[in-house]
A = this chain, B = another copy of it.
Amino acid sequence: MKRTGPHHTLIAAVRTFVKKRALLRPNQQVIAAVSGGADSMVMLHVLMELQRLWKLRIIVAHVNFSLRGKESDGDERFVHSAAGRLGLPFYSMRVDAAAEAARSKCSVQEAARDLRYAFFESLRQSLGADLIATAHHADDNTETMLINLLRGSGVDGLAGIPPKRGAVIRPLLCVTRQMIEEFAEERKIRFRNDSSNGTDDYTRNLLRRRIVPTLMRRVNPSLHSTMMQEAETFRTMAEFLRGVTDRSFRECVTGTSVMLEPFRRLHLFLQQSVMHRMLNETGIETTAAAITAVTELAGRQKGTVVELPGGWCAERTADRILLRNSGNAAPFRYELSGPGTVTGESFTLTLSKGKARRNKRTDGSSMEYVDAARITFPVTVRSWQSGDRFQPLGMTGRRKLSDLFSGLKMTEQEKHRVPVVECSGNIVWVAGVRLDERYKLTDSTTAVYTLTVHHHGKKDGRR
């Protein structure tokens, strides 16, 4: 590799950025997410330079999404051999992003993103590594902020791409794509066409290829640094607002009701923020119109009712605003002290001993196998509760059931009929919908329970 000097501007910029944002500490183990494109290959190069300063241990990780056949496999081999030349450990995962997208009813891009982060995080945990480095740069941040503004995502969307979130760091966020490309050319860093820069995200590509270049030429040549600065301002602001909203929420909200007395003392902005959060946590779709209508109830007559999405309504009582869902089935709760069957108003659920058939496939809907060693009795079978979270099979981190239900476009009635199987306070199975990652069969599984659900009369809880 040819060097133009040890203090190339890109390296210097990244080093300053990493120091200022405290992205790295000495002796850390960093997983570099490398697709093989220019951005991630340059990041790998930069991390190798920073390695000396911070005494890092670098691991290369790659996800093969199997979206472009031999080309995808070529990317994987390319990254593998680059890691080899640098003497770095290499890990890869091969997944079918298209199939996962079909399965979880989201876009291929969303599925790929979820799979990618889930793989890097599980790799990090199993290797005991500290950080995951991704190659997002200033142009990505500008595009993200513009897309979010255009779609109306509020202050959180304008916070852009964070330099650090959890274990994920973005050391290249301070530099532009142009700087990265020039650096790659200058140092003769080889790369392959980056699959994440493909044409499947139409909006991002439109901004990248047409809108942003025009804006930079004609409006603000320093657009990327302006937007980085703005993102930081909005990030600090969003964090502050979250804290203030938290306090107000705790002061005013109990379950699904808002006490009017403290609520009325809040600034309109906080009233709306508190309502937004309450609707969200209850699993009600948070349209601007719904938030406004519910907030305005505080000034309306006792007994006034506002209709909300999904069969919900909000009522102004003497001293509070109450959320109700008259259309719901009554909440239910049963306990199993050992294997057996529970029959509810609309379902029959059975937990039975089985054999360790690891490779046996279920349809993931009316039947699932779970690792018996992880189950302790009593096992609870109950209806969904606001705030329920679990770790969906194949994911790291926990998700809200309300988000899962919304993703499946389930009605309120359907959501409240789904039996939720719980054990020691953890959700094991959202019956007929999804297993929890923590209860799946593994290499060490020796005993298995089989869970089955049958819905009576009406159609399946899942649409």
The answer to whether A202 and B218 touch (CB under 8 A), given A211-B211, A229-B288, is yes
A356 CB–B CB distance under 8 Å: no
CA distance A154 to B232 in the complex (A): 10
A343 CB–B CB distance under 8 Å: no
- Report yes or no: B214 in contact with A240, Cβ–Cβ below 8 A: no
Tell me, rounded to whole Å, the shortest Cβ–Cβ distance linking A90 to chain B.
38
The answer to whether A220 and B151 touch (CB under 8 A), given A211-B214, A214-B211, A288-B229, is yes
The answer to whether A150 and B219 touch (CB under 8 A), given A155-B155, A229-B288, is yes
The answer to whether A237 and B150 touch (CB under 8 A), given A211-B215, A214-B206, is no
CA distance A168 to B132 in the complex (A): 53
Question: A272 touches which one: B146, B149, B236 (CB < 8 A)?
Answer: B236
CA distance A434 to B369 in the complex (A): 84
CA distance A96 to B164 in the complex (A): 54
A203 (CB) vs chain B CBs: closest residue: B219
A269 (CB) vs chain B CBs: closest residue: B240
Kindly supply a per-residue 1/0 record for chain A positions 218-245, scoring 1 wherever the CB is within 8 Å of any chain B CB and 0 otherwise.
1110010011011001101101110110
A232 (CB) vs chain B CBs: closest residue: B288
CA distance A162 to B63 in the complex (A): 48
Which residues on B sit within 8 Å (CB–CB) of A145?
A: 149
CA distance A401 to B418 in the complex (A): 67
A267 CB–B CB distance under 8 Å: yes
A313 CB–B CB distance under 8 Å: no
Which residues on B sit within 8 Å (CB–CB) of A227?
A: 152
The answer to whether A239 and B269 touch (CB under 8 A), given A206-B214, A211-B214, A218-B202, is yes
Number of interface residues of A (CB under 8 A): 40
Kindly supply a per-residue 1/0 record for chain A positions 151-179, scoring 1 wherever the CB is within 8 Å of any chain B CB and 0 otherwise.
11011001000000000000000000000
- Report yes or no: B269 in contact with A223, Cβ–Cβ below 8 A: no
Give A194-213 interface residues, CB cut-off 8 Å to B.
202-203, 206, 210-211
A410 CB–B CB distance under 8 Å: no
CA distance A233 to B271 in the complex (A): 12
Which residues on B sit within 8 Å (CB–CB) of A226?
A: 150-152
CA distance A269 to B129 in the complex (A): 32
The answer to whether A229 and B155 touch (CB under 8 A), given A206-B214, A269-B239, is no
A56 CB–B CB distance under 8 Å: no
Which residues on B sit within 8 Å (CB–CB) of A211?
A: 211, 214-215
Tell me, rounded to whole Å, the shortest Cβ–Cβ distance linking A268 to chain B.
6
- Report yes or no: A236 in contact with B288, Cβ–Cβ below 8 A: no
A322 CB–B CB distance under 8 Å: no
- Report yes or no: B269 in contact with A236, Cβ–Cβ below 8 A: yes
Which residues on B sit within 8 Å (CB–CB) of A218?
A: 202-203, 206
Question: A150 touches which one: B151, B220, B234 (CB < 8 A)?
Answer: B220
Which residues on B sit within 8 Å (CB–CB) of A215?
A: 150, 211
- Report yes or no: A237 in contact with B288, Cβ–Cβ below 8 A: no
CA distance A237 to B269 in the complex (A): 6
Give A408-447 interface residues, CB cut-off 8 Å to B.
none
CA distance A203 to B214 in the complex (A): 11
The answer to whether A240 and B223 touch (CB under 8 A), given A206-B214, A211-B211, is no
Q: 7 pairs across A/B with beta carbons < 8 Å? A: A203-B219, A206-B219, A210-B214, A211-B214, A233-B288, A237-B269, A240-B270
Closest 6 CB pairs of A and B: A240-B269, A152-B226, A236-B269, A240-B267, A203-B219, A229-B288
Report which A residues bind B (CB closer than 8 A): 145-147, 149-152, 154-155, 158, 202-203, 206, 210-211, 214-215, 218-220, 223, 226-227, 229-230, 233-234, 236-237, 239-241, 243-244, 267-270, 272, 288
Q: Told that A151-B220, A237-B269, A240-B267 touch, could you supply 16 new A-B pairs with CB distance under 8 A?
A: A145-B149, A147-B219, A149-B149, A150-B215, A151-B219, A152-B220, A152-B226, A152-B229, A154-B233, A155-B237, A206-B219, A211-B215, A229-B288, A236-B268, A240-B269, A243-B267
